[in-house]
Amino acid sequence: MGLMDYLRRGRDVEAQTLEEYFEKGGFEPWNRLCDYARSNGARVDEETLKLAEREMARAPGSFFCLLLILAAKDPDRRGAAIAKIREHLHAHPKEALRTAGYNLHEFHSVLDRTWIEDAFRYHDHDPEGAWGILESAAMYESKLLRWKDVEFFDAHRDAWPRDYFVVLLSLAPKWADRAGDLLRRVVDAFDRHPAEAVEAAAFAASDVAASQTPELVAAVLRHFAANAEKAWEFFDGMSKSKPEAFDDALLDALTARTSDGPGKLFDILRKLDRLERYTALARRHPKEGINHVRYAFQGEDIRRVRPDLVALFRESFAANAYPAYEFLRRLVDERPELVGRPEIEAALRAIPHATNYAFGFFTELLKTRPEFTREATLALFECLAQEPDHRAFVRSEELNGILAVSEAAHVKTGLEKALREPPQVGSRRARALMAILFRQTLRARRHVLLEALRHGATCVLWRRGGDKERFSPIWDFMMFIIDHAADDTISTAAAESFLEGAFQLRYLCRNGAEHEAFLRNLDLGSPPPTPFPDDLRFLAEDAELARLHDLVHELGRRFDAAPRLKAIDVFRGRVEAARRELVAIDPKKGVTKRRSNLRFRIAAWTGEDASAKAADFLKRDRRDFAKDLRDNLRAEAVRLALAAIDRSRRELYRGQIRDLLDRDVDITEVDPKILPAFLWFQAVQGMKNNRKGLKRLIEDRIEKRPHDWLRNETEAVAWAERVRKARPDVRLERWRAPFAKEIQYRPADAKVEKRRRIKADLAQARALLEKAGAKPGSDRPDALEAALAALRAPDPERKTEPDPAVLEEVGLNLERARIAEATPESDFEGRITFSVESDPFEILFMGEYGFASCLSLRGSNAWSAVSNAIDVDKTVVWAREPGGNVVGRRLLALLPEGVVVFRTYVNRNGLALDRAFDAFVEEYAAHCGTSITHGLSPKPLLSDRWYDDGAI
């Protein structure tokens, strides 16, 4: 690229000629010209150089810089360039020296004795530039200096001490016969300029081992505090160039100077391989020590880690938790023999200091160290429970991680049983969260609670008014419920009810504003004060109790319900209660002690007894009352929220039923099993037939009518006639009617079937991507992920955007394959029951139970679950393990040609059910008087449309 092209491309100033550019551009043209000369020195022609010379008055320093660059980069022009500098130096000595002092470190090849003389002659015009020239000569071209020059250095020492010391220390190793004299001058001047002397010693330390005499070392030690940062740099450089100098005495002296911080002593000790001192220093400075260990011991160096260094992490993990977790994770991978229970316990204690790093550490620990499964699993919940309020996105990621652990844990039935046992360690919050997921025996309920937890964890609002901060209304209130459960137990019943209710309200509220209004009522932050009554003002001394009192009354106002404070009624009525008991006691029965005690209490309460004993009793009495009131307030806060959710939910359900039937219905008489069906109305908005069908299903169940219309509608009758015509022996009354069979499951083929299922998921993902316009190179997960990312990214060249539902299905396929790859095969062995579903309300839930399906309520194709429920040609086959847990399902469709079978979904528990499903469906088809067919796709029957995820 030519000079003009280069200048034109980077030009910020409008100009037609180079002259105009120099005139208008300020320093820009000079900077651009110098940059060009660095890489294209020979191509800067004489005409351009003459123009620069004419313009030099605007920027003489830049002109000198250009000439220096040309002299260094183009040897053929060096003489002319230097001569040109000499020509103008006398007129601009300040700029010439400044430019030379800065650039001659890089271009020291152009140094000669004349530069040294110029530095002496024009020193006062720019001392900094002059010393820069002298430093360059001392460091790179020492032959240009003379011993007599030292007199000049000494004369200017006090004005420019740092440069003086650098020049002498740089010359010392090069002038071997004069080194002692030079170093003596440095040491003698140390006391006059200690900070500058230490800085200069540090600057030269790594290259001048010969100059690091005991006298210089002693001088730096003596003046260590004058410039501690540079003093550490001096000894750090010396550890490379002269490690033999570090005897115990010197190391003791350096250790004594670490009271304000370790400086670079960690680096020095590590380079010297003095790990016993390194470990001792790390214990004195654990925060810096842990951080240094994290960086220092990587790769092969991790083999040098000793047990006494690992002890630092046991003792001081929380001092710097982030790097501590990072290093401990590396130890688990590369030095597992050094990580035992004490280290894991230290990591557990440090969770509050780095929740997200701790989560990653314990997730990996679960994979590699099964002996710590219980501790690591509980630790994940500790991380989740202690995650700061504002980090909702981290809670969501951690919940996803826990989900993977949860499902993998259920692969091993013995582990599943162990995890359901109440843990004896860990915080109340972590134990409660763990119980919510693991102590559920029904996987369907476990899935609902997980979804509710996910909703609560990610729901964040901004506080209004003066408090400009975020809060998590559902999550915070759930933690409030857990924190305020009875002290002697970890009960999750109230928290689970609250979670489920809040989750359902998300779908039942008519609009976002209505939902947000309810959520804001759960805000626990800064409730307005509600003073205690006059007779109870002593309670205000307990700030925590007063705030709880404020909160409960505020919740009562928000939810339009009066708090039931029985503890206050009992306290106020204690005198009358005692008098009634006193009257009721028969004095003839000899209970004199109880009668005496009651008289004493009454006298103390009424003020008739003012003795010290009565005063002590009143203190204990008030303390007991405060405890009772605190328990009462806790319970009321929970009751108010649960009652409000239940009332809101019932009202919303009642309103939806009123909309369906045009009349009010006693909600208590409605089968609660159908109420969740209302959640699907959001999914079928804009779908006339699906909405109508869902409405009729609910209306039938409320009116206690059978769903005969599913088979009697015109479309359904026509379907039945087509099937009978093609299959005269078909038994349609058996289709979508109860049919079940139990098999004995053995895990022998689980691995083979797992590979087949992964392959099928990836193949379908590729087919969907190609349908959306992508061209993945293979069925490899990374190729499919890249193709999916490309489709999701904005592309102005793309004519039509891909269907978001298709992209979500691809993502789910890849997620299923990833989870299956990471999930071990199940060791379950026992009876599994396969059954045909006949209840359309149960078919609605075919996307639930943790199947990672797009038919789930959160999925993009939730509307198709309604289609499957109202289209009688389709049904679902469930696989259930003993106890009723759904572990797998398949969708079937009956066509004139036979039964079409769709893929098997299992809920990530490692079971291999395809062959068992195949056998059952074949038997069921024969039971209905038909057979299995392939390669066909059913159409909507009564529904608006139907999602086809590919028959097998």
Tens of pLDDT, residue by residue over 683-737, are 888 899 999 999 999 999 888 899 999 999 999 999 999 999 999 999 999 999 9
| 188-224 confidence digits (pLDDT tens) | 999 999 999 999 999 876 555 555 688 999 999 999 9
pLDDT: which is higher, 760 or 864:
864
Q: From CA 44, how far away is CA 36, in angstroms rounded?
A: 8
Q: How would residue 372 be classed by pLDDT, with cut points 50, 70 and 90?
A: confident
Q: What angle do CA 370, 372, 377 make, to 5 degrees?
A: 100
Check: CB of residue 374 under 8 Å from CB of residue 367.
no
Query: Taken in order 148, 151, 153, 156, is the CA torsion positive or negative?
Result: negative
Average pLDDT over residues 158-185: 92
Query: Taken in order 844, 848, 849, 851, is the CA torsion positive or negative?
Result: positive
pLDDT for the residue 749: 63
pLDDT for the residue 444: 59
| HEC secondary structure over 807-876 | HHHHHHHHHHHHHHHHCCCCCCCEEEEEEECCCHHHHHHHHCCCCCCCCCCCCCCHHHHHHHHHCCCEEE
- 522 phi, psi to nearest 5 deg: -90, 0
Confidence check: pLDDT of 413 > 50: no
Could you give the C-alpha distances from 118 to 98, 103, 163, in angstroms and in order? 12, 15, 17
Confidence check: pLDDT of 105 > 70: yes
- What is the CB neighbour count within 10 angstroms for residue 77? 18
pLDDT for the residue 467: 59
Residue type for position 402: I
Encoded tokens for 589: 């029965």
Average pLDDT over residues 655-664: 82
Average pLDDT over residues 850-878: 84
Could you give the C-alpha distances from 900 to 506, 541, 553, 867, in angstroms and in order? 36, 73, 60, 16
Question: Which positions ≥6 away from 687 have C-beta within 8 Å?
Answer: 863, 866, 943, 944, 945
Encoded tokens for 209: 């081992």
Least reliable range by pLDDT among 84-93, 439-448, 843-852, 921-930: 439-448
pLDDT for the residue 2: 59
Q: What is the mean pLDDT of the chain?
A: 86
Confidence check: pLDDT of 607 > 60: yes
Ramachandran quadrant class, 910 (left: phi over 0; alpha: psi -120 to 50; beta: rest): left
Could you give the C-alpha distances from 606 to 566, 592, 601, 614, 628, in angstroms and in order? 21, 21, 9, 11, 21
If 0-12 CB within 10 Å is exposed, 13-18 middle and 19+ buried, where does residue 67 land?
buried
pLDDT for the residue 42: 76
Return the bridge partners of 832, or none: 743
Q: How would residue 1 be classed by pLDDT, with cut points 50, 70 and 90?
A: very low
Question: Which positions ≥6 away from 201 have C-beta within 8 Å?
Answer: 165, 169, 216, 220, 230, 234
Encoded tokens for 258: 């670490």
Q: What angle do CA 48, 53, 54 make, to 5 degrees?
A: 100
Q: From CA 735, how far away is CA 877, in angstroms rounded?
A: 12
Q: From CA 657, how far away is CA 641, in angstroms rounded?
A: 24
Confidence check: pLDDT of 95 > 90: yes
Encoded tokens for 129: 């530039």
Confidence check: pLDDT of 858 > 60: yes
Distance of CA 479 to the CA centre of its chain: 20
Least reliable range by pLDDT among 73-77, 407-411, 817-821: 407-411
Where helices occur in 335-465 by DSSP H, the ranges are 341-349, 355-368, 373-386, 392-409, 413-419, 428-438, 443-458
Confidence check: pLDDT of 746 > 70: yes
Question: Which positions ≥6 away from 431 have C-beta within 8 Å?
Answer: 378, 381, 422, 423, 490
| 422-451 confidence digits (pLDDT tens) | 555 578 888 888 777 766 665 556 667 777
> β-pairing, 874-880 with 470-471?
unpaired
Q: Specify the DSSP class assigned to residue 173.
A: T
Confidence check: pLDDT of 526 > 60: yes
pLDDT for the residue 852: 60
> β-pairing, 830-836 with 740-745?
antiparallel
Q: Specify the DSSP class assigned to residue 884.
A: S
Q: How would residue 415 be classed by pLDDT, with cut points 50, 70 and 90?
A: very low
| 387-399 confidence digits (pLDDT tens) | 887 788 888 888 8
Confidence check: pLDDT of 7 > 70: no
Q: What are the helix and strand counts (H, E) for the chain?
A: 45, 8
- 743 phi, psi to nearest 5 deg: -125, 160
Q: Give the position of tokens 């022998």.
A: 748
Encoded tokens for 247: 């005897």
pLDDT for the residue 162: 94
pLDDT for the residue 208: 52
Q: How would residue 246 be classed by pLDDT, with cut points 50, 70 and 90?
A: very high
pLDDT for the residue 14: 67
Q: How would residue 410 be classed by pLDDT, with cut points 50, 70 and 90?
A: very low
Q: From CA 922, how far away is CA 944, in angstroms rounded?
A: 29
Q: What angle do CA 821, 824, 825 make, to 5 degrees?
A: 105
Q: How would residue 407 be classed by pLDDT, with cut points 50, 70 and 90?
A: low
Encoded tokens for 50: 């003459």
Q: Which residue from 517, 507, 806 is spatially nearest to 685, judged by alpha carbons?
A: 507
Q: From CA 821, how far away is CA 209, in angstroms rounded?
A: 58
pLDDT for the residue 823: 63
Q: From CA 737, how far away is CA 330, in angstroms rounded?
A: 57
| 541-596 confidence digits (pLDDT tens) | 999 999 999 999 999 998 889 999 999 999 999 999 999 988 888 666 666 788 88
Q: How would residue 411 be classed by pLDDT, with cut points 50, 70 and 90?
A: very low
Check: CB of residue 124 under 8 Å from CB of residue 93.
no
